[in-house]
Amino acid sequence: MLILSIDTSNSSSSVSVVRDGRVLGEIYLNCGLVHSKVMCGVLKSLLNLTSIGLGEINAFAVCSGPGSYTGVRIGVSLLKGLAFSTKKKCVGISSLYALAYLVQGFDKKNVVYSCIKANNEEVYFNSYMFDNKKEYIFPIGEDRFLTFDELSKIIKSEKRQIILVTDNSDFIYKNLIDCMNFIEQIKVGNVKSSSVGILACHQINNNFRYDVNELKPNYLKKVKIDRSSNV
């Protein structure tokens, strides 16, 4: 299974090619460039560098959010266009899921809390466990949009050891200072398109739904669009 995956859910951009869970190549940019201006060129460059033709791709995967409204919309639109034109599968992967995948080597005594900054008062959140038999991470519930007070209550009521993974530790330390004793470990990282591709491969192999017509951006909340901005 050869999967082309992209992530434009935040200020960075990345494109990857994954074969059967193994990353063949990845281009990552975090230089403030506009997604709509660079993604097609980056995608073409990666295929050229890996000597892979678009026709060889078996499926497409995209980080479907939550995250930047414009970024998520661009990524989903691009991948749906490729899937429709090539009549291939297209899988949407949560940015929280892709972020949680960065945490490896934990067991049933741990739970992973994946947190992405929404604004100064709220956070995108989901929690994850590890299946020791399948050796795979899986979500416990649905992606949620929480205030820090709500997240604090969840942390304090958790019975397992918490590994918290986030894209920005500053807002975690600032807003959850009263919860630090309840968190075993904090890991900081970025959503990677390679993680999106690996998780998509797992979902396809396990017969998850991947109808391109059902793929939609996962905003989680209503967004006020600033039409003067070109992010």
Q: Report the predicted TM-score, pTM, of the whole model to 2 decimal places.
A: 0.91
186, with CB counted inside 10 A (0-12, 13-18, 19+), is middle
pLDDT for res 4: 97
User: Greatest CA span in the chain, whole angstroms?
Assistant: 53
- Residues 58, 121 share a domain: no
pLDDT for res 43: 92
| 32 has pLDDT over 70 | no
| Count of domains observed in the chain | 2
| 222 has pLDDT over 80 | no
How far apart (Å, rounded) are the C-alpha atoms in residues 63 and 67? 9
How far apart (Å, rounded) are the C-alpha atoms in residues 140 and 114? 11
Residues 90/61, Cβ–Cβ less than 8 Å: yes
- Residues 90, 61 share a domain: yes
How far apart (Å, rounded) are the C-alpha atoms in residues 18 and 1? 8
Mean per-residue pLDDT, 151-158: 97
Quickly state the pLDDT bin for 34 (edges 50, 70, 90). Answer: low
**CATH code at position 136:** 3.30.420.40
- Residues 133, 157 share a domain: yes
Residues, the chain: 231
Query: pLDDT tens-digit profile of 56-105?
Result: 999 999 999 999 888 899 999 999 999 999 999 999 999 999 999 999 87
Mean per-residue pLDDT, 161-180: 93
Instruction: Provide the domain limits for residue 126.
Output: 103-188
